[in-house]
Amino acid sequence: MFCYAFAFAADTPELARARKLYLAADFEGVINQLAPVATKTAADWQLIGQSWFGRTEFKKSSDALEQAVAAAPADATAWLWLGRAYGRRAETSSMFTAPGLANKCRQAFEKSVELNPRSREALNDLFDYYLQAPGFLGGGEEKAQSLIDKIASLDPAERHFAEARLAESRKEYSRAESQLRRAMELAPTQIGRAIDLAKFLARRGRITESEVTFAQAEKINPNDPTLLFERAATYIDGKRNLTTAKALLERYLNSPLTPDNPSRDEARRLLSKVGG
């Protein structure tokens, strides 16, 4: 989950209006609001960078967030978002530039955790990096494992999700499933826990069980935007229920979104895969 809280003392009228636009996921509106500001603060740059991230313009995002951390080098959230921007750039760049960007991503996440060791978002993102990145880029399962106790101290359910991720990476699928089910037990009203299990079951080819679990999530909130998006993405990845996937994405694009939801740009890209 992305954090979009800010801790800066005084807002200009432009920044106050931009924050309201951001909370409604109107990223273009934020950029248009703050771009003309002559002397930008760290808060301005951070919000611009997060908005470019929401528009999936990751180079522009990292450029703005570099300005934010230069202006406020002790702000953990700015470093977190800079790491996210570098990470997405690494995912979408060439084999020659990706390693350097990946290292910048790791360093930014580590800096964010150093500045705020109790940030769930920073710990989770650093865990993801360590789990996915090879050793020569500073990743590794042992490093990911070392963060689990810190995650557990902040969110017991998230601890079991992290354990599941680690188990799945090690192809310990039975353990991964049991950890996901434990996370659901600990947080039965959190729709994301049911979504996580449904996606895992789909990856394992257990389609009927996946559908049952998606139905459980639907009982919590049938109109939850993330449920609409993730269910559609699961269908598209599995090359099944494509008509339903298209309908789900169309509902998603017409839903009120927040910055915690996948961006509309991401949804449109998915929709293009099913002729939308």
Q: What stretches in the chain show pLDDT beneath 70?
A: 1-9
Among 184, 201, 220, identify where a domain stops.
220
Shared-domain flag, residues 31 and 97: yes
Shared-domain flag, residues 59 and 18: yes
What local confidence, expressed as pLDDT, does residue 276 receive?
77
* Assigned token pair, 84: 């996210």
131 lies in a domain? Answer: yes
Shared-domain flag, residues 97 and 37: yes
* Assigned token pair, 272: 């293009």
Shared-domain flag, residues 246 and 177: no
Could you tell me the CA-to-CA distances from 166 to 33, 126, 140, 144, 197 in Å, in that order?
42, 13, 10, 8, 14
Shared-domain flag, residues 180 and 83: no
3 lies in a domain? Answer: no
Shared-domain flag, residues 26 and 145: yes
Shared-domain flag, residues 40 and 131: yes
Q: What does 5-74 look like in DSSP terms, one character per residue?
A: ----S---HHHHHHHHHHHTT-HHHHHHHHTT-SS--HHHHHHHHHHHHHTT-HHHHHHHHHHHHHH-TT
Q: Which CATH number covers residue 113?
A: 1.25.40.10
Contact in structure between 113 and 123 (CB atoms under 8 Å) = yes
Look up the domain containing 259 and give its range. 223-276
**Residues contacting residue 93 through CB under 8 Å, at least 6 positions apart:** 101
Spatial distance between the Cα atoms of 258 and 140, rounded to a whole number of angstroms: 32
Shared-domain flag, residues 150 and 166: no
2 lies in a domain? Answer: no
pTM, rounded to two decimals: 0.92
Where helices occur in the chain by DSSP H, the ranges are 13-23, 27-34, 42-54, 58-71, 76-91, 98-115, 120-132, 141-146, 148-154, 156-169, 173-186, 191-203, 207-220, 225-237, 242-253, 264-272
1 lies in a domain? Answer: no
Tally of structural domains, the chain? 3
Residue 220: Cβ-neighbour burial (10 angstroms; 0-12, 13-18, 19+):
middle
Shared-domain flag, residues 42 and 80: yes
Shared-domain flag, residues 26 and 144: yes
Residue 129: Cβ-neighbour burial (10 angstroms; 0-12, 13-18, 19+):
buried
**Residues contacting residue 210 through CB under 8 Å, at least 6 positions apart:** 198, 199, 201, 202, 234
Shared-domain flag, residues 139 and 242: no
Shared-domain flag, residues 64 and 99: yes
